[in-house]
Amino acid sequence: MKPEPPSKKRLKALRRGALAEYRAALCLLLKGYRIVAFRYRTKLGEIDIIARKGNLIACVEVKARRSL
């Protein structure tokens, strides 16, 4: 039995989230961070972006809002 394809509403939300992650990564790059990983999966969930600047490692959770 095949799973149903995502609805148009769900696809739109996925695109909005991917765009928000791209913008966040771009912002981090412009501030001098190096992107180490995108959508890093763990047993407990997913980390959207892992970035590094010198000795600092930043784990970033991106939230997209319609109102921005």
Extents of the domains making up the chain: 8-60
Could you tell me which of 53, 26, 22, 56 has the C-alpha nearest to residue 39? 22
Three-class SS of residue 1?
coil
Predicted pLDDT at 67: 73
Predicted pLDDT at 58: 96
The first and second tokens of residue 36, run together, are: 């180490």
Under the banding of pLDDT at 50, 70 and 90, the label for residue 68 is: low
Task: Report the CATH architecture of 8-60.
Answer: 3-Layer(aba) Sandwich (3.40)
Burial class (CB in 10 A: 0-12, 13-18, 19+), 9: exposed
Tens of pLDDT, residue by residue over 1-37, are 787 887 989 999 889 999 999 999 999 999 999 999 9
Predicted pLDDT at 4: 83
Question: Taking the alpha carbons of 60, 37, 32, 14 in that order, is the dihedral positive or negative?
Answer: negative
The first and second tokens of residue 46, run together, are: 């997913």
